[in-house]
A and B are shown apart, each in its own frame.
Chain A
Amino acid sequence: MALFIYGTATNTGKGFFTHEDRRNFFLRGYGGHDGSNPISVWVVGNNEKGALWLADANGTEQTKAEAQALVRAADTIGRTAWDNDDVDGESADEKNARLGTKPGFISIP
């Protein structure tokens, strides 16, 4: 059995996931992008409570490859924004100090 379920769901704020949820199953969120809008990608522990949580959150289940593609699209946008964010006369070190190092690509578990 796969360890994780993958899905997209909008974080609705308070109560979207609870302390009890966090004790019941693995949950980690990633920033994704569907080509038009940012979208939240969730990696959920593959047990009954995890599956019910994604359903209750009105989530859309994705394959791992689909979820990874959404995250990679967001990573690409962030990396491009970093590349384009220049200040005249600024050295590479100064840019790293200002922005942090260039974001990498995230691999979801």
Chain B
Amino acid sequence: MSTYETLKGLKVKFLGADTSGDRELEGELYYNSSDFQVKSHLAVAAWSSSSHMINDKIANGVVGIQTAALSCGGFTSVPDGNPDRKVTTEAYGGVVWTAAANMNTAKSSGVTYGTQTAALAAQGESVNSEEYNGTSWTEGNNMGTARGENGIQFGIQTAAVAAGGSPNHAIVEEYDGTSWSEVNNLPAANFGGHGAGTLTAGLGFGGYTTATVGETLSYDGTNWTDVGNMNLVRRNGTANFGTASLAYVAGGITPTGNRQTTGAVYDGTSWTVLPASLGTGRQHNGGIGAGGSSTTAGLACGGNVAPNNSTGATEEFIRTTSTITNSTWATGGTLPAVNNDSGGAGTLTAGLTTGGTRQPNSPNSGGLSTNVESNEYDGSAWTAGGDMNTGRATFGNLGTQTAAVAFGGRIQNNPFAYTANSEEYNGTAWTEGNNLGAVQYYMNRTGCGTQTAGLCAGGYDVDAGSPTSNVQEYDGTSWSEVNNAPTVLLRIAGCGVQTAAILTGNQTSPKSAVFLYDGTNWTTSPNASPGTNSTTFAGTQAGGILAGGAPVPYNGTLSHRWDGTSFSASANLSIAREAASASSTSLSSNFVCGGNNPGAVQDTTEEYSDGVVISSVAKSIDFD
């Protein structure tokens, strides 16, 4: 009988507490003498769905990491026996795909390496090779031998390996950032194989030699060595990523022609089939491949699905020993009355909602329908605050419960009337301030900044009769115009402060662009948002939560979390709503209230609780 020490090379430690930090080793058994339990840190793996690619693709190349990936080339159909190879490229930031610069030469079933800003794409039934710098593709030196069907591939833009490929090649070429050179052949011709790792520590696995195989080969930069077999043989898989000592593969096709959902992991010694499986079985598609060295997160996108179609389906893989407490929304106090298109400010325990309309989308019926009321929230209940001097909806609002500013907006319907008026709140009463530079409404609908350093971005300039990209800053006394936004902004959601603001969810194109403001200049994040308009945005440039938005019901319950770099899907609201009001200054402590729902304008409040990652909670092992 074998022992744990023989199998794992470790003894079962006798410890007074759970292992943690540098002492933690996934899968290691130990006895916790305080808890009287045998324990271990166990990883859990899962695939989850994400946004579809813009274009369905088969045999597209994918590089990067899960939150900064690039898909290039591929084909969608095979008219007249030849794939309609594409030059199109798409970038993924963790939420949605956005169009990127086209390649110079159409490719499919090629080899790809690197990152979203330093990529290499070659082969694809040709010798062509080109590099991407995050902005554009540039022709590089050609390969020596044209091949297809994604041979084994691993490495980065400046140190890449392309091994095998159809039809039946054993040829291996290395790229040094300038040119390709032929090196030692594979032990046997192979196409449709997979790879992970680096040029000097690489791994090739699966593919087709004289049949579909599970053969696993390690590469040290010079020689190939057979190191075992996959326990579920496959070729043309996807999402092959990781390192030579911890590699993953998912999807692909078996010898009997079945598209796989299963995934497998190589731990440096042997392969294990993972319980986590793709939602959509697929073959011949891109995945985070040659450049993806992550051992905990991968991506599958595109591919060939049954019966024989292209897909843009995207799925994300995560493997972690951490326990993740999901973000959630719970009910808060009920507003005194339904309210739509009102302003919001403050935090969960010191919040403010102001103005708005009782009716959906500010209809003309009912004549003057805008509110002057303010209501204050303490984290449990709403109580009446001071009335504004000018009732308004679709206006700008920023600050805190005791130091807020309301500016612009629609003040009357039927006939419509708008204002440049601005007023300040001190927690008790509203007082007139200096006007905006123009009569406008639909500016950033959730607030950026404070009463002494505020921001008004975009909106509809009534006198000009058009949306505007103008931006104004408030210094506690007056509004002054500063650098324009990159584009016109209409009803965009924003949060943060005057010197570190973030805005997205524009009602006009580009809807999904994420604009960042540093107090002087505007930049656009490379990672897009879902592009929902009439949403709320609470938090800061370093972390925020988008919630609800139009059109309901399709987007009205969705929320997405910004982590300072990219967006990811978060907990759903329980009630779909657009044009809701929200607290503006905190990610971990915020609310949404009111808003328009097709069934009824809302008086409900929902409170957000941000998810918590509890790193590496040890699991007890029961033997009975």
**B-binding residues in A (CB < 8 A):** 11-19, 21-23, 27-33, 38, 71, 74-75, 78, 81, 84-87, 98-101, 103-104, 106
Q: Given A13-B334, A81-B360, A85-B363, check contact A28 B600 (CB 8 Å).
A: no
Name B70-102 residues within 8 Å CB distance of A: none
Flag if A22 contacts B571 (CB, 8 Å).
Answer: yes
The docked-state distance in angstroms from the alpha carbon of A106 to that of B551 is 12
Name B602-624 residues within 8 Å CB distance of A: 604-605, 607, 609
Task: Identify 17 new A-B residue pairs, CB closer than 8 A, beyond the known A13-B332, A38-B600.
Answer: A13-B333, A13-B334, A14-B333, A14-B334, A14-B380, A15-B330, A15-B331, A31-B575, A74-B599, A74-B600, A84-B365, A85-B363, A99-B361, A99-B363, A100-B534, A103-B598, A106-B553
Top 7 A-B pairs, shortest CB-CB distance: A31-B599, A13-B334, A74-B599, A22-B328, A16-B331, A103-B598, A19-B328
The docked-state distance in angstroms from the alpha carbon of A7 to that of B550 is 26
B329 contacts partner chain A, Cβ-Cβ < 8 Å: yes
User: CB < 8 Å: which of B365, B598, B609 contacts A19?
Assistant: B609
The docked-state distance in angstroms from the alpha carbon of A33 to that of B597 is 13
Flag if B599 contacts A23 (CB, 8 Å).
Answer: no
B323 contacts partner chain A, Cβ-Cβ < 8 Å: no
Q: Number of contacting residues on B, CB 8 A?
A: 38
B326 contacts partner chain A, Cβ-Cβ < 8 Å: yes
Flag if B331 contacts A17 (CB, 8 Å).
Answer: yes
User: CB < 8 Å: which of A19, A32, A33 contacts B330?
Assistant: A19
Name B329-367 residues within 8 Å CB distance of A: 329-334, 360-365
Flag if A81 contacts B363 (CB, 8 Å).
Answer: yes
15 examples of A-B residue contacts, CB within 8 angstroms: A11-B331, A11-B604, A12-B331, A14-B333, A17-B331, A19-B330, A29-B575, A30-B599, A33-B599, A78-B360, A86-B364, A87-B414, A100-B361, A104-B551, A106-B598
Flag if A14 contacts B381 (CB, 8 Å).
Answer: yes
Q: Given A13-B331, A87-B414, check contact A38 B599 (CB 8 Å).
A: yes
Determine how close the nearest CB of chain A comes to the CB of B374; give it in whole angstroms: 19
User: CB < 8 Å: which of B330, B362, B550, B551 contacts A22?
Assistant: B330
Which residues of chain B are within 8 angstroms of A27 by Cβ–Cβ distance?
Answer: 574
**A-binding residues in B (CB < 8 A):** 325-326, 328-334, 360-365, 380-381, 414, 534, 550-553, 557, 571-572, 574-576, 578, 597-600, 604-605, 607, 609
Which residue of chain B lies nearest to A73 when distances are taken between CB atoms in the complex? B599
The docked-state distance in angstroms from the alpha carbon of A74 to that of B602 is 13
Flag if A101 contacts B331 (CB, 8 Å).
Answer: no
Flag if B331 contacts A98 (CB, 8 Å).
Answer: no
Which residues of chain B are within 8 angstroms of A38 by Cβ–Cβ distance?
Answer: 599-600
The docked-state distance in angstroms from the alpha carbon of A75 to that of B599 is 6
The docked-state distance in angstroms from the alpha carbon of A92 to that of B557 is 27
Flag if A12 contacts B328 (CB, 8 Å).
Answer: no
Which residues of chain B are within 8 angstroms of A99 by Cβ–Cβ distance?
Answer: 360-361, 363
Which residue of chain B lies nearest to A38 when distances are taken between CB atoms in the complex? B600
Which residues of chain B are within 8 angstroms of A11 by Cβ–Cβ distance?
Answer: 331, 334, 604
Which residues of chain A are within 8 angstroms of B361 by Cβ–Cβ distance?
Answer: 98-100
Which residues of chain B are within 8 angstroms of A74 by Cβ–Cβ distance?
Answer: 598-600
Which residue of chain B lies nearest to A41 when distances are taken between CB atoms in the complex? B599
The docked-state distance in angstroms from the alpha carbon of A24 to that of B599 is 26
Which residue of chain B lies nearest to A43 when distances are taken between CB atoms in the complex? B574
Flag if B330 contacts A21 (CB, 8 Å).
Answer: yes
The docked-state distance in angstroms from the alpha carbon of A104 to that of B534 is 17
The docked-state distance in angstroms from the alpha carbon of A87 to that of B364 is 7
Which residues of chain A are within 8 angstroms of B609 by Cβ–Cβ distance?
Answer: 19
Which residue of chain B lies nearest to A84 when distances are taken between CB atoms in the complex? B365
Which residues of chain A are within 8 angstroms of B333 by Cβ–Cβ distance?
Answer: 13-14
